[in-house]
Chain A
Amino acid sequence: MSSSSRKSILSKLRQHQRPKVELPNLSEGHWIQYDDPVAQLQKTLEFVGGSFHQVENVGAIENVLANFEEWRAARRVLSLVDEVTGNVCSDEVATPHEFEDLDFVVARGDLAVAENAAVWVDDRQVRHRVCYFITQYLILVVNRDSLVSNMYEAYQRLGQPFPRFGCFISGPSKTADIEQSLVIGAHGCRSMQLFLVG
């Protein structure tokens, strides 16, 4: 059934040729550059509901986190960053459902984009990708030299090999589905903090 539909769809598409159009060369685009990408990142992240911190080194992150009541009260913390202490080991968890009661996830972002505060995470640092979404609070750590201005540069840097799963996360989960009132914390994390290191 399905294979005959495959054949009929493809042959129908081949029957009717459309006039030729070239695929545009995106490397020639005038994509936005920021004089101060860090300031732009901070401004945009705060606009989308996230919090921004800049620290000298990864070791300083825990000191900043200690100021947050949620962090001090947290019971289950999964940290994928060596310098931040956690108490859940990702590899020992057999099914993703066991992450149900995670309070915090601390993870590395490979890349941050100034124009939209998107941070790239993928499944190379963690066995169960659900941790990015099921946790109540999300902390992402990005090196200063992994900050780019726009999405074109971002996709150029992601390069090869492309992971099995990767996600741009921009701020906490949110919804405005009830009368356009913005509510932070829909199904994913209820807060998202970004630490830019260096």
Chain B
Amino acid sequence: MAVHSFDHAQQSNRFVQNRERARWHDSALWFVRQKRDRQASMIPEWEELREKASQIKAYTLNNLADLLEEFERQATRVGAVVHWAAHAEEHNQIVHEILQKHRVRRIVKSKSMLTEECHLNPYLESRGIQVVDTDLGEWIVQLRDESPSHIVLPAIHIKKEEVGETFHQHIGTPEGNADPTFLARAARHHLRQKFIGAEAGITGVNFAVAENGSIVICTNEGNADLGVSLPPVHIACMGIEKLIPRLEDLSVFTRLLARSATGQPITSYTSHFRGPLPGGELHIVIVDNGRSNLRESNEFHRSLHCIRCGACMNTCPVYRRSGGHSYGTTVPGPIGSILAPAMKPETYSSLPYACTLCGSCTDVCPVKIDLHHQLLTWRGELAKERRIPVSKRWSMALASIVLRNTRMYQLAGWLGRNALRYLPRFLVYNRWNVWGRSRDFPPPPRRSFRAAYRERNQKRRERKPSP
């Protein structure tokens, strides 16, 4: 019986079929993790920054309603128009209405995980609007009709030869040319015309400052800035958790974000928009889409601290070896495995198990989310709701009986030791032994720990006769 419609283990099985590619993916991400470590170690106050960031986010979540209203007031005062969307569909409708009002047919978009979450692109495209993703990685996955496999490095799963092939098909670069510099130049050249021809620009938001109504967008490519400084209409889409109270709080988050994400001291561009272009319009769409529910959870509300740096993905041994698509979510990796089941437990209940509980994600998280604790908590919740497979439920129930009863435990140990020693291999390693699919048990010991301990005490007593 399938208890979850999406199975991470099954999906990642496909990814690891190609061992060479899986190894390449693993090392590409580990390289990013190492760059992060070098940058973090250069800042003596790194832990203090993380602590402050965590406190600021906790304060923000506690006072979210007041801060959102303050943000709205300040942003409106400087000429922005603030919209509120309870869910993805409403978000898409709002964006579409704004575009319709201006008779916009062509838009450029910079990276925004929120618009991915809301599936804005297909919504607009089916209504006759041309959407061009301008972040190079996002554009590559858009041309290939895929989705990003990482929130910061959307095309991390694609090889340069495949990019060369995609560009050859879509923009006519010479066949077989897979040089990253050449391909990036070709994209620059092609997308320049898209920027020039765009009638509106859509962006995400990295931080929204309540105190002065400004929004901050961080990119390395400069695509967000080009996309919203040429056309007169800028639509910025943000989740309610993107807020920070004060301008000076940016001095904490801008120091953490890029160092954690890609091992850079800061992104090439950190742009602050306070109101629209002269003569233009700035629309800010504030989206809930399940976040206010998550905020009410005592266990998982801290996952709303996330600033989407992707550090937990880069370090995760499961993510690195299974690829972002194996999670089937907009946000994959450890943080995605907390967020997705909160939104759709019936679909994503396998994700909290895509984790070894090694705790590396918790160590690197710049806002101190206790990721692996939350993943463990999820498993408890899912077991209570009976959202785990029967095999796991029964084996856990059995283990619980055995572990509570001394005689049963002794018997199980004896059975295990002898079964592993004497039974033919096919009886131990078969399709019911999921654990043993890609690994072997260690050779069984000749006797139990209990027996060894008894023997040791016996010998001691014999050596030292009691007084």
- Closest approach, in angstroms, between the C-beta of B249 and any C-beta of chain A? 7
Interface residue stretch chosen among A55-63, A78-86, A103-111, A177-185: A177-185
Bound state CA distance, A61 and B56, in angstroms? 43
A10 touches B62 (CB 8 A): no
Cβ proximity bits B173-217 to A, threshold 8 Å, 1 near / 0 not: 000000011011100100110011000000000000000101000
The secondary-structure label for the interface of chain B is helix
A130 within 8 A of B: yes
A8 within 8 A of B: yes
B59 touches A186 (CB 8 A): no
Return chain A residues, CB-CB under 8 Å to B181. Answer: 181, 183
Bound state CA distance, A29 and B225, in angstroms? 32
Return chain A residues, CB-CB under 8 Å to B212. Answer: 162
B288 touches A9 (CB 8 A): yes
- Closest approach, in angstroms, between the C-beta of A16 and any C-beta of chain B? 5
B248 within 8 A of A: yes
User: Contacts A115-B265, A180-B28: A10 and B68 contacting too (C-beta < 8 A)?
Assistant: yes
User: Contacts A9-B240, A18-B62: A185 and B268 contacting too (C-beta < 8 A)?
Assistant: no
Count, chain B residues at interface, CB 8 A: 91
Within residues 248 to 296 of chain B, which ones have a CB less than 8 A from any CB in chain A? 248-252, 254-255, 262, 264-275, 277-278, 286, 288, 292, 295-296
Of B59, B65, B278, the most chain A CB neighbours within 10 A belong to B65
Within residues 58 to 90 of chain B, which ones have a CB less than 8 A from any CB in chain A? 58-59, 61-62, 64-65, 68-69, 78, 83-86, 90
Return chain A residues, CB-CB under 8 Å to B195. Answer: 187
> Which residue on chain A has the smallest CB distance to residue B273?
A165
- Closest approach, in angstroms, between the C-beta of B135 and any C-beta of chain A? 7
Cβ proximity bits B132-164 to A, threshold 8 Å, 1 near / 0 not: 001111001000000000000111100110010
A173 touches B222 (CB 8 A): yes
A74 within 8 A of B: no
B120 within 8 A of A: no
B226 within 8 A of A: yes
B184 touches A155 (CB 8 A): no
A151 within 8 A of B: yes
Interface size band for A = 35 or more
A175 touches B184 (CB 8 A): yes
B301 touches A133 (CB 8 A): no
Return chain B residues, CB-CB under 8 Å to A72. Answer: none
User: Contacts A187-B188, A189-B222: A21 and B58 contacting too (C-beta < 8 A)?
Assistant: yes
Q: Which of A32, A133, A185 contacts B229 (CB 8 A)?
A: A133
A152 touches B248 (CB 8 A): yes
15 chain-A/chain-B pairs, Cβ below 8 angstroms:
A2-B83, A13-B65, A13-B68, A48-B268, A100-B196, A164-B78, A167-B271, A170-B268, A173-B269, A177-B153, A179-B28, A187-B188, A188-B222, A188-B223, A189-B222
**Which 6 pairs between the two chains have the least Cβ-Cβ distance?**
A188-B222, A186-B221, A116-B265, A177-B137, A130-B229, A181-B180
11 more contacts with CB within 8 A, not counting A31-B251, A132-B225, are: A5-B288, A9-B240, A12-B292, A150-B251, A164-B275, A168-B254, A178-B136, A179-B180, A181-B180, A183-B181, A187-B195
- The chain B residues found within 8 Å of chain A, CB to CB, are 28, 31-32, 43-45, 48, 51-52, 55-56, 58-59, 61-62, 64-65, 68-69, 78, 83-86, 90, 93-94, 134-137, 140, 153-156, 159-160, 163, 180-181, 183-185, 188, 191-192, 195-196, 212, 214, 220-223, 225-226, 229-230, 240, 245-252, 254-255, 262, 264-275, 277-278, 286, 288, 292, 295-296, 301
